[in-house]
Structure 1
Amino acid sequence: MPHATTHMKPTTHPTALHLVMLLGVVSLFADMTYEGARSLIGPYLAALGAGATAVGVVAGMGEAIGYGLRIVSGLITDRTHRYWTMTLAGYAVNLLAVPALALAGNWKTAAVLIMTERFGKAIRTPARDAILSHAAHGLGRGWAFGLHEAMDQIGAMIGPIIVAAVLAWKGRYEYGFAVLALPALLALAVLIIARISHPQPHNLEPTMHTLEARGLRSTFWFYLMAVACIALGFADFPLVAFHLKTKGIVADQWIPVIYAGAMGVEALSALVLGRLYDQKGVSVLVVTIGVSAWSAPFVFVSGPVLVILGIVLWGIGMGAQESIIRAVVADLVPWDQRATGYGIFNAGFGLAWFAGSAFMGLLYDRSLMALAAFSVAVQFASMPWLHFVQRRLPTTRVATDAKP
């Protein structure tokens, strides 16, 4: 066990829970905003005259910006210690770009706003996750991240429904984007309340001084390798939806319902898996990946009944990604390097996700069996790395999870 000294700072569970809940409400309104917008972006760009290639390039560049720049924003956050400033600035850019789409007028302006929205998310995510990790310390990180993700997914389910209703009522995309100004402003208002209520979130976690920083860093990189394997083999829902439509497995109107159901499974599993992680550690992630990795065979090489089982497994896998996988990062990275750790982690995860999605798209046109085999094999390749982290993490958790 590494020698560690702890400088205890005053904290209470109600205070920490209050901050987690506030950040959860922010994410709920934020997801209503940009997930509602994402459900319209493709057809909106087409209506403004963009071709399929332009739509693909805009979407790809937006995601590349959204993940790649998190390394930079994480480093800046830890260097300046401006966690709330980065979070507030990022959310402002992220959210206000969405209703501005109503005024775009042409697809090129809309494309700039879409990439601006992703840029804002890149700015705020490492800082926000670092703040959340401090609040999660006294509550159980798995549970806190799971609760945050559950609230996040409630917003992700409500947003597309709102814009669909507005579109059916008004018949114009501009109204759909304009109505999203309301949840955007609500998210920013709640975020300001969180900033005023909890100006020093790092006080919720004891300051640790450990002599084994190198060991912690190496464990983090091994963990990133494991998570990259998971991301590389995890099928993106657009490919799943494409399969359901082109193969005639379900009628078009049922695909959004299936997606909403998957988001519900994700929210519930995030809560359950987060709590189990706090009790059992990384072994919960190992078991979960061993189960959810089989989603691709059920979705892509089976009949309608087993497809639903595959969607449920997909939702469980997503729930693990947004609760346990994020929580482990906080247990591996020292508190004063947390934003940098999340920035590097998110960038690596995103790069692997998009590389895997592109490759599985190519495999789809050649062999569904090969796609399913690739998905399962690559995710199972994460197991040795996870077992290594599991052996190392209990030592680090003694230091980082000591209760004040």
Structure 2
Amino acid sequence: MSNQSTPQHGSDVKRSFSDDFESPDFYQVDDLLSEEHLLIRASIRDFVKKEITPFIEGWAENNHFPEEIVKKFGEIGAFGPTIPEEYGGGGLDYISYGLIMQEIERGDSGMRSTASVQGSLVMYPIYAYGSEEQRKKYLPRLVSGELLGCFGLTEPNHGSNPGGMETRFTDEGDHYLLNGAKMWISNAPKADIAVVWAKNEKGRVQGLIVERGMEGFSTPETHGKWSLRASCTGELVFSDVKVPKENLLPGKDGLGAPMSCLDRARYGISWGAVGAAMDCYEAARKYAIERVQFGKPIASFQLIQKKLAEMLTEITKAQLLNWKLGKMMDEGKATTPQISLAKRNNVEAALSIAREARQIHGGMGITGEYPMMRHMMNLESVITYEGTHDIHLLILGNEITGIQAFK
């Protein structure tokens, strides 16, 4: 692989190497997948090899979000694949959704964030809690990538404690008046719509669809990120925004509504993280076989073999965990603690694999010649967002003991 000089604009960068990735399958998990699952995975893998991996290092280096990827994701069905076909979705199962997220995050966590936010955090609440008019108005355009959406829950003063949110809306007769701010919002600077969670006059959390162009609504971009650099992140600021009453999601109120969306996003992360881990493992395996020191490939040394064996073990465990969780999702049986376990375990494993893979590459591992440092930086965000590593631990602790430790 050769690293070319990087022009100013990340969209102009193309790496001159062949992406020949094939995922490890030590326990023959592919035997558990249907022919449709395998076809879906193959099509997304081909897309990633063509549209993401040749360019991703340049996008990340230049902190460039490739806006053209949105329409391309729409064309391949990466947005809301579980949404019913009547609204333009794929009508696919959750294992299909997981495989799509795995393949996209193998390319980059920021690219997967773009897709999973659109599907799980924007389209899902509109489908599950929106009116029929809202579904017909927004879902087909979100599926196709004509519209890009974002999800507003986290606030400057309230991250792990969303119940303390300060964003409010009041009933002004013919419209709602929305005030407040959201922070660390993926897709925000480029989003056409935002599904925003705010408290009504009774203190109950409800969802509102806020459209770009509404007076008083702005989306300042977050700069200086060392992580998810190919993804756009920003704030949502509401200053006396007049939201039409038909933009209120009528189907559910209370914190359970946004939390159910996060369950689906966290499920997608549990698969996506495995994709990042696979990419690091494959890079390290190939490099160890090719790299010669002390007169022989470093793959012949015991400590390198130990690292590779442990990587493959953790990937295999995560694959099996995801498959079983996917089956429970399809049956409607997966619980929040079960999803938390998978998200927490798999992201932690992926981050450890990225670090070990970087060590196998030595100094070369810190360059854009190889993907590990980019994956490492990305996964430092993934291990924190949509429930921090420690909060997921406490969700499990609550499930085990019946005692909630974070209140």
TM-score, normalisation: structure 1? 0.31
More helix per residue: 1 or 2? Answer: 1
The structure whose residues are more often strand, as a share, is: 2
Higher relative contact order (CA 8 A, sep 6+): 1
What TM-score, normalized to structure 2? Answer: 0.31
